[in-house]
């Protein structure tokens, strides 16, 4: 694993170049360009606020900010995997080059969506201040949350991108699993609405503890729940080590299958 990390570090300039290229390609020809980084989550948030705050009347003051603080990391996660799962299939010309490191392609997907996430954070800060929610020292835990989510997402993106080359159903299965995960994570509702007897099982979903962590540091002004974050860390490390192993096992057959 150390050798793999050293190899990724050696390709850092290529990874950065591909991330920039991906971001430019994503918004090329678009009138609003990078503004879509703000507009997409805003429009989605508007729909959910209308349904859950106005129609269903979720009893949580500042619900829009609560929702936004959980929706942004979810969009980074789901968009990263949704793009990464098909990135090797769609980059056959690159993968077939003898010395091209195919593992950087799913990582570029994760990092380019991280850039979108970071671009959206100032908007979240504006929302917090507009709703009278103070910024607290708990924000110091944000880099830890970002690191855990980066490792977890990259660890899932690697095997998914390789498995989809051999079995194209993976992309369809992933889409359905992401819908399920969305509702099994505390994005639309606070953790307090989950029955106490169910919470130990509920927090086996690493996204539950991760998104709760973001909501704590942004909305509630509290540090992350350390036990739940420990579960996230274990899943993230296991996903990255296991995911890289799966990718490595399939690496030699990728060029033949795309």
The confidence score (pLDDT) of residue 57 equals 63
Say how many Å lie between the first and final Cα of the chain, rounded.
Answer: 26
Q: Stretch 94-105: mean pLDDT, rounded?
A: 80
pLDDT attached to residue 93: 74
The answer to whether 157 touches 248, Cβ cutoff 8 Å, is no
Q: Distances from the Cα of 35 to the Cαs of 20, 89, 108, 111, 135, in angstroms?
A: 16, 29, 21, 18, 25
* Backbone φ, ψ for residue 69 (5° rounding): -70, -25
pLDDT (0 to 100) of residue 24: 80
CA–CA dist 187, 74 (Å, integer): 8
pLDDT in tens, 213-254: 999 999 999 999 999 999 999 999 999 999 999 998 988 787
Dihedrals φ, ψ of 100, to 5°? -85, 125
Task: State residue 167's pLDDT score.
Answer: 87
Query: Exposed, middle or buried by CB within 10 Å (0-12, 13-18, 19+), for 93?
Result: exposed
Q: Which residue has the higher pLDDT, 1 or 167?
A: 167
What's the token pair of residue 99? 């010395």
61-85 confidence digits (pLDDT tens): 777 888 889 999 999 999 999 999 9
Does the pLDDT of residue 199 top 60, yes or no?
yes
* pTM to 2 decimal places: 0.91
Tokens of 189: 């509702």
Counted residue by residue, the chain has a size of 258
Chain-centre distance for alpha carbon 200: 23
Domain boundaries, the chain: 2-257
């Amino acid at each position: 694993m150390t050798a793999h990390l050293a190899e990724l570090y050696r390709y850092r300039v290529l990874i950065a170049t591909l991330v920039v290229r991906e971001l430019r390609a994503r918004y090329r020809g678009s009138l609003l360009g990078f503004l879509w980084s703000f507009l997409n989550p805003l429009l989605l948030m508007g729909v959910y606020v209308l349904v859950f705050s106005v129609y269903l009347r979720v009893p949580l003051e500042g619900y829009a900010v609560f929702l936004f603080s959980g929706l942004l990391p979810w969009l980074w996660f789901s968009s990263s995997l949704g793009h990464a799962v098909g990135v090797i299939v769609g980059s056959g010309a690159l993968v077939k080059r003898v010395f091209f490191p195919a593992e950087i392609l799913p990582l570029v997907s994760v990092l380019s969506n991280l850039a979108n996430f970071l671009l959206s954070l100032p908007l979240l800060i504006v929302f917090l201040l507009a709703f009278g929610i103070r910024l607290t020292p708990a924000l110091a835990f944000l880099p830890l949350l970002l690191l855990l989510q980066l490792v977890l997402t990259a660890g899932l993106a690697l095997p998914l991108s390789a498995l989809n080359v051999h079995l194209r159903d993976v992309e369809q299965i992933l889409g359905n699993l992401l819908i399920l995960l969305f509702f099994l994570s505390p994005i639309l509702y606070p953790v307090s609405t989950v029955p106490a007897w169910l919470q130990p099982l509920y927090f086996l979903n690493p996204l539950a503890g991760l998104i709760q962590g973001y909501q704590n540091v942004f909305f509630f002004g509290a540090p992350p729940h350390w036990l739940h974050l420990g579960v996230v860390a274990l899943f993230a490390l296991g996903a990255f080590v296991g995911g890289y192993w799966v990718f490595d096992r399939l690496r030699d057959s990728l060029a033949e299958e795309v």
